[in-house]
């Protein structure tokens, strides 16, 4: 969707999904992301708004699951700074679901 892909990775202490989360720490998640050829840079943030401040992108991309729930602060920042908001069409993967239902299940 753009010339450079910067992935904003949420700090472990800012992941608000319950006890034992995130399943994989930021170091592991960052290592996986850095191995993807399409990723140019990974930054560590506490919120998507912090990522917007740090990167100042032309395009802010969120997963399809955020299409109906984008944070108002993020939308307002994007409007104020002429940043286009887009959403992926790719399926999401949940580490919780993978662990709950088994990694090797067929």
pLDDT at residue 15, rounded to an integer: 83
Q: Specify the pLDDT at position 105.
A: 44
For 50-80, b where at least 16 C-beta lie within 10 A, e where not — what string?
A: bbbeebebeebbbeeebeeeeeeebeebbee
Task: Give the model confidence (pLDDT) of 40-49 as tens digits.
Answer: 999 999 999 9
User: Which tens digit of pLDDT belongs to each residue from 48-81?
Assistant: 999 999 999 999 999 888 888 899 999 999 999 9
pLDDT over 90 percentage in the chain: 58
- Evaluate if residue 106 carries a pLDDT over 60: no
> Where do the domains of the chain lie, and which CATH numbers do they carry?
6-101 (3.40.50.620)
Give the largest Cα separation in the chain, rounded: 48
């Amino acid at each position: 969707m753009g010339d450079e892909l910067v992935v904003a990775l949420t700090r472990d202490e800012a992941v608000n999904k319950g006890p034992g989360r995130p399943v994989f720490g930021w170091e592991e998640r960052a290592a996986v992301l850095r191995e993807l050829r399409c990723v140019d840079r990974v930054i560590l943030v506490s919120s998507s708004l912090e990522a917007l401040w740090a990167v100042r992108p032309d395009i802010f991309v969120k997963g399809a699951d955020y299409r109906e729930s984008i944070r108002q602060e993020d939308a307002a920042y994007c409007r104020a700074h002429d940043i286009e908001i887009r959403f992926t069409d790719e399926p999401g993967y949940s580490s919780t679901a993978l662990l709950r239902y088994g990694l090797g299940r067929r």
